[in-house]
Structure 1
């Protein structure tokens, strides 16, 4: 008697999910794939759909409109970035979808790798007078965390308010002992979507991947670097970790701070009025940039749209540094179309990644790249974790978003798009230097003759790409 009841219950649940897919599905191919999984893989198909398949843009996890007004662009009558009309359309796209307009009165410092980045961060934090806001996907115990703890203790004693937001999965190893020390000295902490059984299925796949520091609403840091000692000492498997970060001073910092206080409210339930923080504009330099937040609750696929637009706007060159390039159909076609149209498209990534399955999936697309004339560079001197895109000496992008389904659809990300020719040229020079240290793949005929077992493994991994 029990078995028929369970079967009937399962069928009812499956039919409910089918109705949800038909009402809320976005891509027909993806909808069909989930329908097949639900009816051909008993129980597991339903669980996989709950974990990975639901359309968060229709059924939002969080309703930000009820808590915060959209971030409005600052009024900059004299803000006129020196970019072509095609690139100017991208700035309008960002403004329309995120309400983050161009800010012009900024100083920008490019930071490469952990040592230089953390020296700059520690120096800035030491100078804090009012508040320090930190938000990280990975925050691990170790030398860096201990040094921050020491600084925090001194700053709290000087009446500086410190808030630390960390992701529940990315920072899962962060010890309770360390968190207690933070609490004891007066640091406020919050965990984004903690690893709890009751919310496990609903939240596991949606992580906050942002890395942000804001100090007194005057200095901001963001990019790819987490709080982890592997940025100082590397690790046994991948060697030294290489990454790119930005130090920002000026108007754009206010956008980073508003993004932090929004995420802080989502994680802690404590509302911090962004309007209470004064915007610190400076006029020493006029670097034009836009902060681009994205996440599964957005009305549009913001990061995918921006990346797609930049790729399509490229006329001379498009250089990408990213360890996790697992493109969906639109991004793949855009990359191939650019290369076939005569654009110099190059991809720089590490020889391997920190997850073997992801590595196989990344390599599954190499043959398509090479066939279209895209050059691939495999960096061997450690693990290249940067998320960088350079286009035509007009746009330089640095941040947290990879070119995979997880970053484009599921994670909360933050990317900076800079419209500055000098920075683009400097980063392009750095790109070429890293390419000189790398193994180049540019022979399609040679690559397609790789062993069939590699093709089989990569083909299987490619099937899982929507989940990675």
Structure 2
């Protein structure tokens, strides 16, 4: 009987034993602390380099209805308040897309359009068709897009516009090989001007998410303004400035800047804000309005992330007895942004500022009304990115009639919102508080 020899497997070298679990846990905690340390350093860096030009509290001894208010605010923002305007609030896609498209189709001489987001879809096709038809009819059509916001904008859609004679440029550079010095600087403006006489601005972009009437969770609740009168000349000048910076060409003449005619009784100004022009104008506009408040401040904002200065201004308004109500999104496109926003509410809730979370749809409106008299609508978010980093545009209006219209809009949205109390805020789980604090470190870039 033969013995079966047992084959020995070839040696694979020394075995590497896994480190003990306790050691692995120590390594895990080590890298966790390293990551948190890096995050804190980045947060401190972003806070340090963020613009902080306006630091001293603004204190006014008059309200927004006093003639001294527009007399002071106009020169500071580089855009005088003018009379003779007509201003109308337009709500949601069903409210603003039809008049905007109708205005485009009525154009006789010029169309200027600046926007942040443009994505393929139904509303994109409608805008392309309307703009292309006017360009083919001989109207001068200029479209300016932000490079980051239009990453989904296709070459095919651009070709449909340029093939019809529409001039389409990317803000800050016309060609891919041109270097944009500050890639964090974007144009967040939303401007449409027809024949230099009809203007629209607000938070709307060319994207199907803005369709409808804010009746679906994946659609935006939005506010635009339709403007006629001398304030449209200011709006056109704001577009022309970015057009000059990008193309090196001026838009001149009666086709762009016709003699203005009185269109109504409203006093208004349209101003620009951005690092290269009107630095901190958006912040000044909001802070001056808050300082003027004597009775009420109603804020409805997609991204409400006040810095220490803005918090202080709001707290001083509360000390004057001003009622402050803030509507924010219950859900939107940025959990990070919502967490950073919550990190700023503690003192405000303690002081009696009322917070409400809008439920039916994603909230994208950017409005504030003071004493039912001063109304601001535009592309400006209540955060550092809009106040200091991006190019923005806003229309400021002094008109009790529009103030009452804003209040009706605001009250309607309140009915569809849930009150967020100090007790609820204080009772957040520890992990939510930690997440809010962490996201708040980056608020200077939001």
TM-score of the superposed pair, with normalisation by structure 1: 0.79
**1:90 Cα offset (Å):** 4.0
Deviation string 1:14-36 (CA, Å, 9 cap, x unpaired) is: xxxxxxxxxxxxxxxxxxxxxxx
For residues 240 and 190 of structure 2, what CA distance do their matches in structure 1 show?
Answer: 13
For residues 364 and 193 of structure 1, what CA distance do their matches in structure 2 show?
Answer: 34
**1:196 Cα offset (Å):** 5.3
Structure 1 residue 465 corresponds to structure 2 residue 443: yes
Deviation string 1:101-127 (CA, Å, 9 cap, x unpaired) is: 111111222111012201001111111
For residues 144 and 381 of structure 2, what CA distance do their matches in structure 1 show?
Answer: 21
TM-score of the superposed pair, with normalisation by structure 2: 0.83
Q: Which residue of 1 aligns with 2:186?
A: 207
Structure 1 residue 101 corresponds to structure 2 residue 77: no
Structure 1 residue 416 corresponds to structure 2 residue 395: yes
**1:297 Cα offset (Å):** 1.7
| Distance change in 2, residues 1:84/1:426 (3 Å) | same
**1:273 Cα offset (Å):** 2.1
Aligned equivalent of 1:118, options 92, 97, 100: 97
CA RMSD after TM alignment = 2.8
- Is the contact made by 1:242 and 1:383 (CA closer than 8 Å) also made in structure 2? yes
Aligned pair count? 399
SS of corresponding position for 2:407? helix
For residues 278 and 209 of structure 1, what CA distance do their matches in structure 2 show?
Answer: 23
Q: Which residue of 1 aligns with 2:300?
A: 321
Alignment of 1:289-304 (within 5 A): 289-298=268-277, 300-304=279-283
**1:362 Cα offset (Å):** 0.9
Alignment of 1:47-446 (within 5 A): 53=49, 84=63, 88-193=67-172, 199=179, 202-232=181-211, 238-273=217-252, 277-298=256-277, 300-442=279-421, 444-446=422-424
| Distance change in 2, residues 1:296/1:52 (3 Å) | farther
Q: Which has the larger radius of gyration?
A: 2
Aligned equivalent of 1:454, options 409, 414, 432: 432
- In structure 1, the gaps of 5 or more residues are 1-39, 58-82
Between Structure 1 and Structure 2, the one with more helix by share is: 1
**1:274 Cα offset (Å):** 5.6
SS of corresponding position for 2:104? helix
SS of corresponding position for 2:325? strand
For residues 381 and 196 of structure 2, what CA distance do their matches in structure 1 show?
Answer: 27
Q: Which residue of 2 aligns with 1:14?
A: none
**1:279 Cα offset (Å):** 3.0
**1:300 Cα offset (Å):** 4.3
For residues 432 and 101 of structure 2, what CA distance do their matches in structure 1 show?
Answer: 45
For residues 337 and 221 of structure 2, what CA distance do their matches in structure 1 show?
Answer: 19
- In structure 2, the gaps of 5 or more residues are 1-36, 54-61
For residues 99 and 332 of structure 2, what CA distance do their matches in structure 1 show?
Answer: 27
Deviation string 1:168-209 (CA, Å, 9 cap, x unpaired) is: 111121011111121111101110135958736x32211101
Q: Which has the higher contact order (CA 8 A, sep 6+)?
A: 2
For residues 275 and 126 of structure 1, what CA distance do their matches in structure 2 show?
Answer: 20
**1:375 Cα offset (Å):** 0.4
For residues 163 and 48 of structure 2, what CA distance do their matches in structure 1 show?
Answer: 38
For residues 84 and 450 of structure 1, what CA distance do their matches in structure 2 show?
Answer: 38
Report the more deviating stretch, 84-93 or 247-256. 84-93
